[in-house]
Structures are given as structure tokens and as C-alpha cells.
Amino acid sequence: MKNISDIPVTIVLCTYNGAEHLSAQLQSYVAQSHQNWALWVSDDGSTDDTMQILERFQADHEDAYEIRILSGPGKGPAQNFMTTLCNAELPVGYIALSDQDDVWEPEKLTRALTQMTADAVNNPAEIPVIYGAQSIHTDAKLRPIGRSVKPSRPATFGNALVQNVVSGHSCILSPAAVGLVRRTGAPDGIPYHDWWLYLLVAAAGGRILIDDAATLKYRQHESNILGAHRGWRAKTARVRMVLQREYGDWIDCNLHALSELKDELPEATNASVEELLNDPARYGLARIRLLKRLGIYQQTRAGNAVLWLAAFLGRV
């Protein structure tokens, strides 16, 4: 097995008006026990001091690390991440995604690479792999207020169709997964890049590695309150999105994107996608039976209850 320290990793960071917390995130890269990394930053048109912070960091560390700063497409975080991953000059190796306002634990990269290389010993290199870990939820001053937990059920295509369990800020892609992303491009309209990456790798028959360790501190803001799955406010907002069909629209966007990738996906996957999109009974017990027959599920009983209700009402 290759020495972990010899494996290069490219960190992909997408920014937009993140000056308030960006420096702490950048310094957590420097503090990594795994020092064989490069940084690609794509800024989506920040109007605060984000660019100045990035350029100062680049100048201060140019002798130690390759740091590239790009201009994003200006279409939101999902397209910013996906277009950066599809950049022809980005190395096809291990890619670690990063948000702009977290703080990584020093062993984050080392732990992920250790698990991914161990998994690769018994699996063909051409099988795409996506790795995700847990996070310590904090307030804006990094005071802990909670923690994510590892999913209790398997991370599969059936789960990925209706739920994301691989948070983007913990996500690391294997070289084969990066190749898959390059071949399939950056679909328009996908709601979340991390959900899409989980879904794409699962749909292609790849492997999903979920670590139960918390490898970063995840700041909570009004803008990301739904992302942490915490509290009645977040739960109520999620139910509202389901009943108003926003959630169903997200699923449809992902399904339509998958339907354009038939040559990259197994026949069984393509058949499931077509059946979901062309189901003549888009509501009622027939819709619930279809989801169950295709092995579609959420991770919790409460999540499944909302899913079945949404299916019955024609919202998914």
C-alpha cells in the first residue's frame, strides 16, 4: 500500500462573501497532519474582503503549497463546485471539498485517506468511491452545540434518490469518482452539489464510505440552519418544503439529470430512473408501492413517514 503521506490531495474550496470566518478555515488546512495538498479556490464574485484574504494566504504560503484562485460562474454554490471539479486542469486524484466557514480537525485528510486506501486494497481502482464523515456543530464562535451522527441504514442508490447523507464539507472523492464527475459534467438545475455527488456515485455502482468520526467543526448560521438537521425549526421547514413540493422538485431535477447519463449508468439504474419519471400514478398508494418496490427509503422512521405522505399526496 502506498504511504499515505505520499498521496497528493487537491482541496476544492468555493467562496462567496466569506471573509468573516475564512481565515480560520484556511489555517486549518495548514494545520493538517497530511501536508501533501494543493488548494483550488473558486470565488463566485465576493464583494467583501474574501479575495484579499485569499490572495494574502496565497502569497504567504506559495513556497509550501500550490494555491490557485479562480473566478466562479456566478450561479450559486452547486454550479461553482461542479464547474470547478470539471475544470480540465484540475488534477485527477483525490479531491477534498471544503466550505468557507468550517474548521478542519488536524487529522481530517489523514483519516480519510487511510480509510479510502484501505478500501481500495480489496476493490478495483476503476470503481468510484465517495467518503463522508461527521461534524461537530458549533455556534459562530466555534462553541459546540451538537454533532451529526452516522446514518443507521446503508448509504445506497435507493437512499440517495431521496436524501443526502454525504455532507459536502466532509466529502472526498477518489480518482475514479473524479473521472466519473468529469465525464458526466455539471448538470444545470441540480439543487445541491454534495447530494448530486452521492447520488451519482451510488447510481454508477460506486462505493460510499461513511465515517462515524467528526473531522471538522461546522458553524451554524441562519443561512445553513437546514443543513444541520437540528431542532424543531429545521424539521418544520423540511416538512413544509415537502408539502409545498420544493423537495419533490429537487428530486425531479436530479432524476432528469440522471436520465441524461444512460451510457455511464447500469441498466437497472436507468430502468429505475425511467420508471420514476414516467410513472402514470404520481400519487396515492400506487406511488408508495413503487417507491418501496424500487428500494427507496430515508434513514429514519420519521423521514420515511414524511416520504410516504409526500408520495401519497403526489409531492414526490
Which positions of the chain have pLDDT values less than 70?
1, 221-234
Range of the domain at 297: 231-312
> Is 130 in contact with 164 (CB distance < 8 Å)?
no
Q: What one-letter code names the amino acid at 124? A: P
Residue identified by cell 513556497 is: 63
Q: Which residues of 241-268 are buried (b: 16+ CB within 10 A; e: fewer)?
A: bbeebebbebbebbbebbeebeeebeee
Residues 6+ apart with CB under 8 A from 301: none
Same domain, 201 and 90: yes
How much is the pLDDT for 224? 55
Best CA proximity match to 194, nearest among 176, 162, 171, 160: 171
Length of the chain in residues, anyone? 316
Are 168 and 63 in a shared domain?
yes
Cell of 231: 431542532
Q: What is the pLDDT of residue 237?
A: 78
% of the chain with per-residue pLDDT over 90: 90
pLDDT for 55 equals 99
Assess whether 19 and 161 both reside in one domain: yes
Is 83 found in the same domain as 14? yes
Residue appearing with cell numbers 398508494: 285
Q: 270, 233, 237: which is closest to 255 by C-alpha? A: 270
Quick one: 93 and 175 in the same domain? yes
Indicate the residue among 228, 262, 292 that finishes a domain. Answer: 228
User: How many whole angstroms separate alpha carbon 313 and alpha carbon 104?
Assistant: 42
Q: Which three cell numbers stand for residue 45?
A: 464574485
128 and 72 share a domain? yes
Burial category of 240 from C-beta neighbours within 10 Å (exposed 0-12, middle 13-18, buried 19 and up): exposed
167: CATH: 3.90.550.10
- Say how many domains are in the chain: 2
The domain boundary, picked from 190, 211, 228, lies at 228
* 194 and 78 within one domain: yes
Cell numbers found for residue 166: 454525504
Q: Which of 195, 228, 261 is the last residue of a domain?
A: 228
Residues 165 and 187 grouped into a single domain: yes
Residues 282 and 146 reside in one and the same domain: no
Residue type, 280: P
Farthest CA pair distance, the chain: 62
Do 40 and 125 fall into the same domain? Answer: yes
Q: Are residues 174 and 269 in the same domain?
A: no
pLDDT at site 242 = 74
In the prediction, which pLDDT does 283 show?
93
Same domain, 114 and 194: yes
